Amino acid sequence: MKQENKNYLTHHVFFWLKDPSSKEDLGKLLQGLQTLEQIETVRKIYIGVPASTEIRDVVDSSFSASELLFFDDAAGQKIYQDHPLHKKFVDDCSHLWQKVIVYDSTDISF
């Protein structure tokens, strides 16, 4: 069964570092992202870097890091958004990035 019985809200955030060549900055960002796991409404967390898949026009591999979180619903995502640990992450790490894009999807698989 590849589809789950439960329909999650997925919150996928892509980060572009100000200095994409800095391994130190990437390390700090990835370390900061790890702290978000502790927020109680986060059901699953995947922290990533661009994968080495085929280069194609439609594939955007220019980001530095990605954060994929699963929540039960929009209320759970809102609790995360306002949570002190999330605010601390933004305070500690937002100077590192130049751009962020967030995509929130409601899973409708059946």
Work out the number of other CB atoms within 10 angstroms of the CB of residue 107: 13
**Angle CA 40–15–54, to nearest 5:** 115
The amino acid sitting at 110 is F
C-beta of residue 3 within 8 angstroms of C-beta of residue 110: yes
Write each residue from 40 to 69 as x if it is in contact with its own copies (CB under 8 A), else as -, in one continuous string. Answer: --xxxxxxxxxxxxx-x-xxxx-x--x-x-
Size of the site for its own copies (CB under 8 A): 48
Measured CA to CA, the distance from residue 14 to residue 47 in angstroms comes to 10
Least distance in angstroms from the C-beta of 103 to its own copies: 6
Q: Is 77 in the site for its own copies (CB under 8 A)?
A: yes
Least distance in angstroms from the C-beta of 47 to its own copies: 5
Name the residues that contact its own copies, by CB under 8 A.
2-4, 8-12, 14, 30, 34, 37, 42-54, 56, 58-61, 63, 66, 68, 74, 77-78, 81, 100-110
